[in-house]
Structure formats: C-alpha cells, structure tokens
Amino acid sequence: MRMRRLGLTVLAAVVVMAGGGCAKAITGTPVATPGEAGKGMVPADLLTTTCREYLTMDVVTRREVIKAIGKSGNQLVAMNPELWAGVAGALCGFVDPSAPVKDVVMGQGIR
C-alpha cells in the first residue's frame, strides 16, 4: 500500500512537471503561414497601386492587387493571378517606382 501511494505521488509529480512546460507563453504574433505576418495595409483603390507600394506588400496583398487588375478587364491576368503577381514584382524592379502596377502589367509602364 505504501509503495502504491509513493508511486502515485511520483506519477502525479511527473504529470505536474510535464504539464507545467506547456504553460509557457510564446511571444510574437501568431500567423497562419510561416513567414507571412498577416494581411498588410491595402490601398483604398487597388488599381492605383504603384510599384513602390507593390514591392513593400506581402504576398497575399500583392495577389489582391493582381486580382483587381484582372477583374478590371484584363482577361489574361484574370486567368492566372498567382503567375502575374510574380511577373509584376519582377517588372516593378525595372520601372519607375511611381508607375502604376496596372500599367506595368499591361506593358505601358516599361520604357
């Protein structure tokens, strides 16, 4: 009986010690996808986004800009916005930072 009580006491102590490790607070902001800090600031009108703004956006917001360009009538962009989000990022590195992303994607911002 005494051995059983000692065993249960040791088991209870182990459970309390192991459970205490789970109570540690984790600092930082929770994110859905590693490396993405969540939804960034979105301009009021996505169609007026400049390359300067576009290059500072996170991936999710960039896709929203490209989807808005596709919905505005550009059927080629609307077919594959994920591809065009990358293309726009690459092209914005070569043009004037004040050029609208809409114009760059349509080939009007490259000179």
- The DSSP secondary structure of the chain, one letter per residue, reads -HHHHHHHHHHHHHHHHHHHHTTPPPPS---SSTT--S-----SSGGG-BHHHHHHS-HHHHHHHHHHHHHTT-HHHHH-HHHHHHHHHHHHTTS-TTSBHHHHHTT-S--
| pLDDT tens digit sequence for 36-79 | 555 555 556 888 999 999 999 999 999 999 999 999 888 888 99
* CA gap 35, 42 in Å, rounded: 19
pLDDT above 90: residue 2:
no
